[in-house]
Amino acid sequence: TTKLTAAKAGLYNLQWSGQFNNTDTSENDASVWLRIDGVDVPGSTGFIAVVSSHGGIDGHGIIGWNYYVQLNAGQYVEIWWSTTNQKLTLECYGPSTSPTRPSTASVVATLSFVSALA
């Protein structure tokens, strides 16, 4: 599911983070923005630069920020992203044993109610 839906009208805090992976030997950029009910939100685009692959190791970056959005009950918000290079992706990673560590999601997002609209 890609839609975060408001249960009631009010101000919401949308927090997200994304695990970006770059297999290219050049640094690559991505753009991330919001859509509410399928419509782009003006002023919401952020730009991300992810380091290049180097020494046989992919470039990685976990990026995140939060937005405050006003939503009516039943409205939904989505996080969209694009890049000009297919070697830059959002990646999830399984657990590892060397060194031992748990899995990670490609994107984590929460939509928290802050207050009712006045």
- Token look-up 């009712």 returns 116
| Structure-token pair, residue 47 | 């730009």
**Alpha-carbon gap, residue 79 to 69, rounded angstroms:** 12
Confidence of residue 117 (pLDDT cuts 50, 70, 90): confident
Model confidence, pTM? 0.90
Residue closest to 83 by CA, chosen among 22, 4, 1: 22
Kindly report, residue by residue over 60-74, the tens digit of the pLDDT. 999 999 999 999 999
